[in-house]
């Protein structure tokens, strides 16, 4: 269900979605087994269990803003739109 939600959000905010089956990795199974599904953005755990589309969108936007390249691209886009 969370994967489906992420794919819906991906239509508005393009991002790379990687789904990992923790059953094939002992370390991940021990780390996350009782908290699945777990969503990581830029290798940081952001959500565990239920998440809404709005929460996921906001987390992606914040993660992009924290990334220096995203900030530079945002400023360039803003400068281009203003003329």
The string of pLDDT tens digits covering residues 35-62 is 888 888 888 888 888 889 999 999 988 8
Q: Domains of the chain (ranges plus CATH)? A: 2-82 (3.40.30.10)
- HSE (side-chain half, CA atoms, 13 Å) at 43: 1
- Residue 69 has a pLDDT of 53
The mean pLDDT of the chain is: 80
The string of pLDDT tens digits covering residues 2-41 is 889 999 998 988 888 888 888 888 988 888 888 888 888 8
């Amino acid at each position: 269900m969370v994967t489906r939600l992420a794919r819906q959000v991906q239509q508005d905010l393009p991002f790379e979605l990687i789904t990992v089956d923790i059953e094939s990795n002992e370390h991940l199974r021990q780390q996350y087994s009782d908290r699945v599904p777990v969503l990581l953005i830029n290798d940081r755990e952001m959500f565990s269990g239920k998440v809404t589309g709005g929460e996921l969108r906001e987390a992606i936007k914040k993660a992009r803003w924290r990334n220096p390249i995203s900030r530079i691209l945002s400023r360039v886009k803003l400068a281009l739109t203003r003329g």
